[in-house]
Amino acid sequence: MATGRLVEVYLDLLSQPCRAVHILLNATRIPHRVRTVALRRGEHRSPEFMKLNPMMKVPVMVDDGFILTESDAILKYLATKYDVPEHWYPRQPERRARVDEYTAWHHSNTRPHAAKVFRLEVLIPTQTSSQVDEVRLVRALSELDDTLDKLETMFLRRQPFLCGDDITVADLLAVCELMQPVGGARDVLQQRPQLQRWRTRVQSAVGESFDRAHAVLFALRDRRHARL
């Protein structure tokens, strides 16, 4: 167990990778302090934040002076450094490699495809006061569908979690990404019972930290429901 100062994390909970980090910290009770960086107010472009991450992205972690960016690296660092149950990021080489296999794939599949749906349905119309581009949205949903197929047939084939019998950091990255379109009142798993069961297993495994991380997104969804 590490000693010294609390782990500090710079997060905006509307950001999918930030929520994954937030859930891991809370579900495993790693002592930490959250520093909110409001993206909508451009706080990630402030000179102070740019000293931590010149790439101007959240999440960022600072652990006793050690600054780390990239959710994937942060999750694995926390699970390795702190005394958390081993299943989060297994030490056994083959099991660990399964987690690394998913997380490598995630950043060019689940993440861009789910994020694009949210961008087209929520971010762009809000920022530009324009209508949703339906043609692009249909295309984005179809790309996401291919990714959902692969999650079901490759990663969840005959196992309850993406990388085996227990939850890992890979499940956190994936579930937070697939929840993002909920902010636009769209559940992309609605027609996907296998993935819905997986999401329920993830929620049960992390307990109330799931809803805590998603409270801001749920509030956004509720505001949209009220307008529809």
Closest CB to ligand GSH among 121 and 192? 121
Which range in 15-23, 82-90, 185-193, 206-214 contacts ligand GSH by CB under 6 A?
15-23
Contact 19, 214 (CB under 8 A): yes
Q: Rounded to an integer, what distance in angstroms lies between the CA atom of residue 28 and that of residue 145?
A: 32
Q: What x-and-dash track marks residues 32-51 binding ligand GSH by CB under 6 A?
A: -------x----x-------
Minimum distance, C-beta of residue 59 to ligand GSH, in the bound complex (Å):
6
Q: Strand order of the sheet with strand 66-69? A: 32-36, 7-11, 60-63, 66-69
Give 34's strand partners. Answer: 9
Among 11, 52, 71, 147, binds ligand GSH (CB under 6 A): 71
Does residue 209 belong to the site contacting ligand GSH (CB under 6 A)? no
Q: Tokens representing 183?
A: 């902010």
Find the binding residues for ligand GSH in span 89-148 (CB under 6 A): none
| Residue 66 three-state SS | strand
**Cβ 21 to ligand GSH shortest distance, Å:** 8
Among 10, 16, 110, 141, binds ligand GSH (CB under 6 A): 16
Q: How far apart are CA 16 and CA 209, in angstroms?
A: 14
